[in-house]
Amino acid sequence: MEKRFIYADNAATTAVSERVLKAMLPYFTEQYGNPSSIYKLGRDAQRAVEDSREKVAAALGCTPPEIYFTSCGTESDNWAIRSTALRLGEKGKKHIITTNVEHHAVLHTCEYLAKQGFEITYLPVDSEGLVTAEQVADAIREDTALVTIMYANNEIGTVMPIAEIGKVCREKGVLFHTDAVQAVGNVPIDVKAQNIDMLSLSGHKIHAQKGIGALYVRKGVPLPNLTFGGGQERGKRPGTENVPAIVGLGEAITAACEDIPGKTERVTRLRNKIIDGVLEIEGSRLNGNREKRLPGNINISFLGVEGESLLLLLDTKGICASSGSACTSGSLDPSHVLLALGLPHEVAHGSMRLSISAELTDDDADYIIAAVKQVVERLRNMSPMWEDIISGKEHTEKLLKFVSEIKSKS
């Protein structure tokens, strides 16, 4: 098979699309005014920022003044969580509810707040990575300041029951924030209908550039500043606006939301083709829920395979894949998300995430399936662990139980 180059790590970041780049370009060398300046060059930049705000608002079903531009998804998460904690903590509300599969932008923020005297409830997910609205309802207390639950998981693609959780939070009068960085542009979002109070998003996951994000804050929800300075973003998020990036984000979110049903159908078909093809490999398992899943996400574990080696060999075949979150790869700790599903360490270590874009073709999918099959076979031929697993010699009890589960499924 002729070697291809296939970028299948769109959950880590995406290429800036031609359409987005084209929209941005004038704002570097022609329309470079400062949006705060009084003359036309500045006013034009201001108009571009406001146009983009309207586009982001339209994509989420809110009004433009409810959108604040930030530097990234991480900043949006920090702002929503820390500022709410600061404000409500002073009123004695020092309890936060989240899950054990959040992105580190949320988990590490919660860990920081725990050191500041907050109590954090980490709702455990089920074996497919889901929490329920009932779990949230049961965890809410008098002193709960905030519920923060991701819309869709970056590693296993699981889409949480956000509307149900939003309803529970609204009924109980507790603020609800969602990290929707992976969901925006991939699933239809309506912050009003879904009772979402705050929502984080990021540009570089939807074909805009790195270093631009936004936070939706429902009108009437007070959110103290994280940083102080000039009057930009109505004084809430000061600093001269990154006009080209903001313009790019508006264009990217518009493009991503133009035909979500059509895109979902096309991408889901290819995703399922890859999942079915790869699962033909003996001793493999799909992580996450098959249906409640982002269209482009594939996450599969292989018994007796070491994940890093798998990724390196796929790279030699021109395939960019990931073992989980880009932030933790390089470290030897297995993914906290896969461990939260109940996977033994050994299995979590042998995992691969592919996140495909709408550009992927059927031929690409065939190439991926064939390459993964070859690479897994090659690694197993080199590994004594695989021999031990199939001959039943492998030691830990949890792994043995898991192996028999996987075997009984196939």
Of 201-209, 220-228, 297-305, 307-315, which segment contacts ligand PLP by CB under 6 A? Answer: 201-209
Binding pattern to ligand PLP, positions 205-234, x when CB under 6 A? x-------x---------------------
Candidate residues 14, 135, 148, 154; the one interacting with ligand PLP per rule CB under 6 A: 154
Closest separation in Å from C-beta 391 to ligand PLP: 40
Closest separation in Å from C-beta 406 to ligand PLP: 28
Could you give the angle at the alpha carbon of 84 between the alpha carbons of 83 and 90, nearest 5°? 95
Site for ligand PLP in 163-182 (CB under 6 A): 179, 181-182
For ligand PLP, the closer of residues 72 and 175 by Cβ is 72
Site for ligand PLP in 46-75 (CB under 6 A): 72-74
Which residues, in sequence order, are CB contacts of 326 under 8 Å at separation 6+? Answer: 9, 12, 13
Q: Are strands 297-302 and 351-355 parallel, antiparallel or unpaired?
A: antiparallel
Is there binding between residue 159 and ligand PLP (CB under 6 A)? no
DSSP-assigned beta bridge partners for residue 213: 70, 202
Residue 110 is a catalytic residue:
no
Site for ligand PLP in 258-287 (CB under 6 A): none
For ligand PLP, the closer of residues 17 and 154 by Cβ is 154
For ligand PLP, the closer of residues 70 and 135 by Cβ is 70
Closest separation in Å from C-beta 181 to ligand PLP: 4
CA distances for 131 relative to 94, 122, 162, angstroms: 22, 11, 10
Closest separation in Å from C-beta 373 to ligand PLP: 28
Amino acid letter, residue 294: L
Share of the chain residues as helix, strand and coil, in percent rounded to the nearest 5: 45, 15, 40
Site for ligand PLP in 370-399 (CB under 6 A): none
For ligand PLP, the closer of residues 77 and 364 by Cβ is 77
For ligand PLP, the closer of residues 215 and 375 by Cβ is 215
CA distances for 29 relative to 59, 102, 124, 187, 238, angstroms: 28, 39, 50, 35, 23
Site for ligand PLP in 301-360 (CB under 6 A): none
For ligand PLP, the closer of residues 139 and 245 by Cβ is 245
Closest separation in Å from C-beta 73 to ligand PLP: 3
For ligand PLP, the closer of residues 104 and 273 by Cβ is 104
As a whole number of angstroms, the distance between CA 368 and CA 382 comes to 21
CA distances for 393 relative to 109, 281, 306, 345, angstroms: 42, 21, 18, 17
Closest separation in Å from C-beta 83 to ligand PLP: 17
Candidate residues 150, 243, 300, 406; the one interacting with ligand PLP per rule CB under 6 A: 150
Q: How many CB atoms lie within 10 A of CB 124?
A: 12
DSSP label of 331: B
CA dihedral 111, 115, 120, 126 (to 10 degrees): 30
Is there binding between residue 105 and ligand PLP (CB under 6 A)? yes
Candidate residues 52, 84, 99, 202; the one interacting with ligand PLP per rule CB under 6 A: 202
| Token pair listed for 283 | 């001793």
For ligand PLP, the closer of residues 74 and 194 by Cβ is 74
Let me know: does 297 contact 288? Beta carbons within 8 Å. yes
Residue nearest to ligand PLP (CB): 73
As a whole number of angstroms, the distance between CA 303 and CA 319 comes to 21
- Select from 271, 226, 250 the least CA-distant residue to 82: 226
As a whole number of angstroms, the distance between CA 195 and CA 48 comes to 29
Number of chain residues interacting with ligand PLP (CB under 6 A): 14
Is there binding between residue 35 and ligand PLP (CB under 6 A)? no
Taken in order 316, 321, 324, 329, the sign of the CA dihedral is positive
Q: Please, what's the b/e burial string for 289-317 (b: 16 or more CB within 10 A of its CB; e: otherwise)?
A: beeebbbbbbbbbbbbbbbeebbebbeeb
Amino acid letter, residue 48: A
Tell me which residues are annotated as active site. 327
Q: What are the residues binding ligand PLP (CB under 6 A)?
A: 72-74, 103, 105, 150, 154, 179, 181-182, 202, 204-205, 213
